[in-house]
Structure 1
Amino acid sequence: MAGQPGMLFFASGEDRNDHYRFLAGCLLTSAAQRMVQGIHKHSDLEIVAANSIRFKSGNPNALSIEMPGEVVGRRLPSREIVLEAFKLYFDYYGDSIFCFFKQHVLMNDLEHGKVPLRLQFCVLALMARFIESCFTIYNGTIEASEHFAALARTSMVNTFDEISLLNMQCNLILCIHWTGHGDEHRAWFQLGVASRIAQSMRLPFEDSFAQDDIASTEIKRRTFWTCFTLDRLMANGGDRRLTFDISSITTKLPGTRSDFLIGRKTSAGTINDEVGTDEPLLAYTVRIIDILGKVVDWSGAGGRHNENRVPWNPQMPISLFEKALDTWERALPSHMCFNEANQEAHAAVGEGKSFCTMHMLFYNARGHLYREYIPVVIPPGWDPGTGPCDGPDLELDNPNPDWWVRAIRNGVSSAVAISTIYKSMTSADLMPLVNPFLGYCLMTSSTFHIWCSLYSWNSCEGLVTGEPVKKLLIDDLRHLIQCQESWPVAAYWVKALRIDFEQNSLVSRHKTFPSPATKALVDIRSKLLHFGQSVEEPEAWKAKTLQLKNPTCKRRTRWSSSRLLTMSC
């Protein structure tokens, strides 16, 4: 035996078994697994399946170990729960930018046991929060999602570095899950893995699909654009910068849902083409998310605080973003403009959620843009229509008072539009709370509502202010509190808004302006650009959670939205 090539040498059989015990523990890595596969022909160790091992001999003292894939496979819930999770995925996300599967194909594969285990766990992690039966089984629906997310991660260990579309899709689904749970670090990490897979597979380039059929091509396109939009939605200009440079992207934008399901060639152009008037809804959505991501990235990196140019300077980023938003809005065909009739029409063809989502993201981008020159806490007696009250001194230029008035009015009207659309989605049973990014839109609208409920500005004459806007604010908070039942990240937003209202209320009553370095103001600013945690605040508000440590379900903690506006730290 000693002379056989490739053999390992052991002083005794006991040493050999000790070695195998150690080796079995190392099988969590693909490299160790390959090592075992290389020696098992010459040993008492047998590879039973891709993820399990046992000894060949009948020795009762021999080690028998099953590896994660085999073990977690037995942790799947009932067939009914798995089927419901996949059905809900298509019900809630089927018309969205986050869907890259053909429903009839995937459901048929699921029926015949062909869906990979890791994908099943990823979908369960995303959807278990909406399955009522999971509440009893797992002590809560949020707990169920966390349970399945842990199993998903375990099932993906051996394929961590696999460059495949499936691995990319699994990481994208988990990115949405972790974002909604307020765990930015993990979400950004999962997205980073997916982004590197996309780049390795050359998915940003249309010529990479040359050998694929129409159906496979569109699945790859949609998977890439999901990755791209999550990159834009997650970037904050600080510890998370934009990954993809659109100037080199040639992959066509996603086509219509019917084209995708039927396998028909898409008429969509590329993101570098001039925005047209006959693009598919998801193509318009990708474009507006790209603009939103650039606005937030610029603002989070310092924005106008790094500039002394006036905002109406044609080369000023805020001016370029303003032009991009106007161009996007003007390019919308009449049937895609937001109104009740168009909302009902899109709902009738199964695109109600995506239609409303597109418009909420547009108003979110516009709100972010025109909020740039407004401090978190408003100084006593200041009107945004008169120009900035902080930041660097602006260059000498011809006065343009109309710009400042238009900016605050656009910001306030965008906030009202966000609240109105979200409420209309709720009334139409379009389930806006299934998408955590729509809750983030409410974060934007609520900041404007707080200011307009406490201050009376001449520049906003004729707009919704005072008591009417306070009702909008209370509605937004009520929706965010409801969002907490499914997405714990909403707890961060609720707390930030409570502190925001509190600080502005103190100033409006006592006319005393806090220091810009006040912790409450720093906390609010950070939450305006974050989904929970960031590298810059590793404690993630753990010091003062106000009983929101586990705010995942209304059954545990009932908050009154009107009471939140009057609570103190």
Structure 2
Amino acid sequence: MVRTTIACSHCRKLKIKCVHEGSPPCQNCQKKGRTRSGECLLTGPELKRKRMPDTPSGYIDQSHRNIRSTLADTPPTQSSELRVLINGNYEKGFAVDSKTVMAALRIFSSKFPEFRFVHLPTLSKSIQSIEENGRLKFLQRTSSEGSPVHMLCASIVALCLPIMHEMSDVSSPETFASFARDCVSIASPPDLLTVQALLTLSMYEWGMGNGYRAWMYSGAATRMMQSLRVMVHVASLLSVEKEIHNRTLWACFIMDRLVHCGKTQPFALSVYSMETHWPTSEDDFAFGESSGNAPLTNEERGPLENMESDMNHYYGILVRGFDIWARILSWVVSGGRRLPGMSLPENHPWVAGSRWKLLYDELMAWRNRQDKRLHYPQASLEGHSALGTAERFAYLNLIYFVSLLFLGREYLRFIPTPESEPNGPVDPPLLPLPAPPGWWQDRADEIFTSAAHIASLIRELEDANEPLYTPFPGFCAFSAATMNLYVSSFPRMNLDRNHITPHAINKNIEFLVKFGNTWAMGKGWWVTISHCKQLYQSARQDHSQFRGRTREDFSALEYSIHDIRGQPPTIGDYISPEVTVDDIEITSTTTNNETAAALSLQELSGFDSTQQTNVTQDDAGANRDWSQTWPLWGEQDFIPFAIEGVPFDYNMPLGEL
């Protein structure tokens, strides 16, 4: 028996060797019981194409077909519609200049450090092998006929177009995203490029405010990657192919933690069950070489052991950082200090072995194991910008600062008085034992210093013309803004140790305005920022109206502050859609003549203090307005359900239900 170019459709679809004697059935069909006439048809190859030499199979387009376009001379625009004749039928599609795709790939590699699985030399060869006259043609085919390379390129272009402002004449991001979605088939045999496309689509949907879609795409990518690693003998792959597989698996790990959002469902991947090695160095990956497999993590050897410390091993550091951050967020959102038993003496945050202290110590160990040149502000962003590593440098520091912010904020007083100082929680459950001297003051300094550093990092990236208008940095900027607004209204909560100027806070807010104009997820954060500003200003100007209130009275607002998905609330009578950056401009906290904001607390909450003079009625009204009428967007435990228990996505068109 010999292997020939003649194969049956079943073997060709599964991309396996078709062994036969020259007539049907082949050996595979015999095993599957397809022995009747017509069930195994031996045919020649569908196309003849030259395979690029030394190109890893993970990026080779196996389903591309030679096509004859009726548009012999396509106008040299960035993107244009076309009609292509295939097997006697015309199919609609669109063409894009290959330079646009390559520009998107470069943006993808620099602006989305979460995804370090693209090996640019390899993928570039695959794109060159399928382009025609310098253009890529995206045909609207079914998923069974879709090209893996086209699918991945479409998802990457969709993700990067919102931040590629110089490509305004290219088709909309949704055009590319829709094409990629149509190509994806989770029922087909697993494919590495499909996994990468699913991950990219997950990030795109997250940015567009479709949290449920993002979660589902991320889960599908993870399951497909797990299946692929079972079916593919990774040890037989080339060095660069092995690392592409390895980094794609770690990208699944990171995305699982980004869209997990601290909900009660467990992580899809555990660091102790990855069954792979840590990512290799960036230099070795770029040149397709192996730097040796870093030891696997297990129960005896923690994730931080043997962690390389320099920027060349950036991805391994980032993976560990996202794992720590996700567990911090999960603890906070699931209840944090209000979880059962957390107020017991052995669980006080300064006690060794408590949940808070374990997370804090792990975060500090991760930070201390890094090269000092990775620490902002001791190391300058300008230096990394000169080396082309500014975005990676920023990501590592954003993870650290936002983690510190969330850990410390959990014990911060939600609505202090103008005279309040950091002294621990004042709402139940209280801590029965006092903290060590200076402990609360140190935590306050960490919180507000972290918020100031996040804002300055974001601003310096913009000044260096390397802005990060991507989902995770956007969330960090949003989290920093809430704390910067807080300390500007209550400076005594940091003992007047102001780390950020009013001008810097305004720049922080202006970034969020631009971010909201780029990504839908930012619109929900903008509404939350507006409410926080009004609330803090009102509490500072007249704290008597908040007498007797506790954190529980603001539970929905607090949830929105923690919401990493940025699901926008329903704009209604209690929320003004007209708030602009000028309405919440920050002025010095020392002036007594601060201009009132455009919307008062009463206007925002739908209640008029002039008509409700009774304190009890006032309390009940504010409690109702701030906790019950504020929509808990994105909350899977409480939001309405659509079909068969699937959480309702407020951004999903009704026709898609």
Fold agreement, TM-score > 0.5: yes
Q: Deviations over 1:203-254 (max 9, x none)?
A: 8x9x963222210111011111111111122222225542222223342222
How many residue pairs were aligned? 485
Tell me if 1:150 matches 2:178.
yes
Which residue of 316, 321, 331 maps to 1:288? 321
Runs (5+) with no aligned partner, structure 2:
1-35, 41-45, 48-62, 66-83, 132-147, 298-302, 587-596, 605-657
Match of 1:104? 121
Match of 2:505? 473
Aligned partner of 1:541: which letter?
T
Match of 1:445? 480
Q: Deviations over 1:158-215 (max 9, x none)?
A: 4555422122111100011011111101101100101112332348x9x963222210
In the alignment, the residues of structure 2 paired with residue 298 and residue 407 of structure 1 have an alpha-carbon distance, to the nearest angstrom, of: 18
Which residue of 113, 120, 123 maps to 2:130? 113
Alignment check: 8 A CA contact 1:380 1:513 kept: no
Alignment check: 8 A CA contact 1:452 1:469 kept: no
Q: Is the partner of 1:432 in helix, strand or coil?
A: coil
Q: Is the partner of 2:158 in helix, strand or coil?
A: helix
CA 273–105 in structure 1, closer or farther in 2 if over 3 Å, else same: same
Alignment check: 8 A CA contact 2:512 2:526 kept: yes
Match of 2:74? none
Tell me if 1:368 matches 2:406.
yes
Q: Is the partner of 2:93 in helix, strand or coil?
A: coil
Aligned partner of 1:105: which letter?
T
Which residue of 373, 390, 393 maps to 2:427? 390
CA 72–137 in structure 1, closer or farther in 2 if over 3 Å, else same: farther
Higher relative contact order (CA 8 A, sep 6+): 1
Tell me if 1:129 matches 2:147.
no
Q: Is the partner of 1:266 in helix, strand or coil?
A: coil
In the alignment, the residues of structure 1 paired with residue 288 and residue 573 of structure 2 have an alpha-carbon distance, to the nearest angstrom, of: 52
Match of 2:305? 274
Alignment check: 8 A CA contact 1:363 1:415 kept: yes
Match of 2:271? 246
In the alignment, the residues of structure 1 paired with residue 464 and residue 574 of structure 2 have an alpha-carbon distance, to the nearest angstrom, of: 34
Alignment check: 8 A CA contact 1:86 1:123 kept: no
Tell me if 1:303 matches 2:321.
no
Shift in Å, 1:563: 4.1
Which residue of 182, 193, 203 maps to 2:209? 182
Q: Deviations over 1:489-523 (max 9, x none)?
A: 11111111110111121111111228558886514
Match of 1:9? none
Aligned partner of 2:570: which letter?
W
In the alignment, the residues of structure 1 paired with residue 176 and residue 314 of structure 2 have an alpha-carbon distance, to the nearest angstrom, of: 32
Aligned partner of 1:99: which letter?
R
Which residue of 449, 467, 491 maps to 1:431? 467
Aligned partner of 2:102: which letter?
F
Match of 2:590? none
In the alignment, the residues of structure 2 paired with residue 123 and residue 71 of structure 1 have an alpha-carbon distance, to the nearest angstrom, of: 29
Q: Which moved more, 1:241-250 or 1:373-382?
A: 373-382
In the alignment, the residues of structure 2 paired with residue 502 and residue 458 of structure 1 have an alpha-carbon distance, to the nearest angstrom, of: 18
Alignment check: 8 A CA contact 1:489 1:531 kept: yes
CA 340–237 in structure 1, closer or farther in 2 if over 3 Å, else same: closer
Alignment check: 8 A CA contact 1:313 1:319 kept: yes
Match of 1:560? 581
| Pairing of 1:37-436 with structure 2 (within 5 A) | 74-78=92-96, 80=97, 82-94=98-110, 96-113=113-130, 116-132=149-165, 135-136=168-169, 144-156=172-184, 158-202=185-229, 209-238=234-263, 241-266=266-291, 268-270=294-296, 272-274=303-305, 276=307, 278=309, 280-306=313-339, 307-308=342-343, 309-339=347-377, 342-378=380-416, 381-383=419-421, 385-394=422-431, 396-397=432-433, 399-433=435-469, 435-436=470-471
Q: Is the partner of 1:374 in helix, strand or coil?
A: coil
Match of 1:484? 516
In the alignment, the residues of structure 2 paired with residue 195 and residue 348 of structure 1 have an alpha-carbon distance, to the nearest angstrom, of: 36
Tell me if 1:541 matches 2:575.
no
Match of 1:63? none
In the alignment, the residues of structure 2 paired with residue 227 and residue 325 of structure 1 have an alpha-carbon distance, to the nearest angstrom, of: 22
Match of 2:533? 501
Q: What TM-score do you get using the length of structure 2 for normalisation? A: 0.67
Alignment check: 8 A CA contact 1:97 1:225 kept: no
Q: Deviations over 1:323-359 (max 9, x none)?
A: 0111112111233222476533433333221111111
Match of 1:31? none
CA 116–263 in structure 1, closer or farther in 2 if over 3 Å, else same: closer
Q: Which moved more, 1:158-167 or 1:420-429?
A: 158-167
Shift in Å, 1:51: 12
Q: Is the partner of 1:541 in helix, strand or coil?
A: coil
CA 346–160 in structure 1, closer or farther in 2 if over 3 Å, else same: farther
Alignment check: 8 A CA contact 2:281 2:314 kept: yes
Match of 2:21? none
Runs (5+) with no aligned partner, structure 1:
1-37, 43-47, 53-65, 139-143, 534-538, 549-556
Shift in Å, 1:106: 1.2
Aligned partner of 1:370: which letter?
G
CA 459–423 in structure 1, closer or farther in 2 if over 3 Å, else same: closer
In the alignment, the residues of structure 1 paired with residue 89 and residue 420 of structure 2 have an alpha-carbon distance, to the nearest angstrom, of: 63
Aligned partner of 1:110: which letter?
I
CA 457–483 in structure 1, closer or farther in 2 if over 3 Å, else same: same
Q: Deviations over 1:119-165 (max 9, x none)?
A: 23212211222344764565xxxxx1122212221122x45554221
In the alignment, the residues of structure 2 paired with residue 545 and residue 104 of structure 1 have an alpha-carbon distance, to the nearest angstrom, of: 53
Q: Is the partner of 1:252 in helix, strand or coil?
A: coil
Aligned partner of 1:83: which letter?
K
Q: Is the partner of 2:177 in helix, strand or coil?
A: helix
Shift in Å, 1:374: 2.1
In the alignment, the residues of structure 2 paired with residue 273 and residue 453 of structure 1 have an alpha-carbon distance, to the nearest angstrom, of: 37
In the alignment, the residues of structure 1 paired with residue 87 and residue 410 of structure 2 have an alpha-carbon distance, to the nearest angstrom, of: 49
Match of 1:60? none
Aligned partner of 1:499: which letter?
H
Shift in Å, 1:544: 6.0
Q: Is the partner of 1:75 in helix, strand or coil?
A: strand
Identical residues among aligned pairs (%): 20
Match of 1:532? 566
Q: Deviations over 1:463-508 (max 9, x none)?
A: 32xxx54332211110011112321211111111110111121111
Aligned partner of 1:76: which letter?
F
In the alignment, the residues of structure 2 paired with residue 231 and residue 282 of structure 1 have an alpha-carbon distance, to the nearest angstrom, of: 16
